Structure 1
Amino acid sequence: MGDEDMDVEAVRKQLSVAVSQQLGSMVSLTVLAGSLRGAAYVGLKLRLREFAVAEVTDTERLVEMFCALGGQLQPMEVPPPPSTDSATALKEFIERDKQVMASLHAVIPHSGQEPQSEALEHLVEHVLLRKQEQLDFLLLAQD
């Protein structure tokens, strides 16, 4: 296998981890959007709902790419429910989503330089960009 070829096995392995975590992130964000309490979080809940819709779209696209590469989805672990303290719940989501982003980023070195590789890399980069914007917003909201 040349330097420009996709390491399909490594991509499938890392993407399996990332997709599993992304599924958890999608569920966690949806639950977080519905469970935040307090007047300080009313406006944030509306934005979280927008992010949750984007998470569904990103997750579907990642699953589609993973399956196109011959990956087989593993049973999903349901994330723990958020803390009843809204500030803590938000902080915990942010920390988990940083891990999701790291797992997604770890796919890129194995993607290679062929056309399908470029499509995968651009998809992952798109998801990372959107999630970074989401993270930046949530970090500001946390202050």
Structure 2
Amino acid sequence: MMKLEEIKHPELKNHINMIYMHGENQNQKAIEKTESDIREYIKDKYFIISIEDEKPVKIPYGNDGLYIVPIFTDEQEYIIGMQYFSLNVMDENKEYIIETLDYFKKLKEDPNFLGYIVNIARVSYIINTTLL
């Protein structure tokens, strides 16, 4: 069983930063390459996933039933993210599991599931369902 402090994903954070840079440069080819790298990277990696009653915490995205699920790439992100939840009274949740993104396979089948948001406190990046 992995511990919270063992979860670290500097490579994913680097990919996310590159996506933003490529976006500013309007380099679609580089964005697609980096998204492909992200798809490959997240395939078998473990993340911190916030849960409630053994289900992933779902955060509404707009008003039409769409939602995203927060994941965290390290302990610091998780701590700040949970503080962010309580500030916004979005959640009282303090439970987490360490799992692969494939752990909640059923989410992929839900048309309202938009993807996983990395680092909700900074709204860093949404790993959309096409990358899962």
Instruction: Give the alignment's TM-score, normalised by structure 2.
Output: 0.36
Larger radius of gyration: 1
Instruction: Give the alignment's TM-score, normalised by structure 1.
Output: 0.33
Name the structure where strand makes up a greater proportion of residues: 2
Name the structure where helix makes up a greater proportion of residues: 1
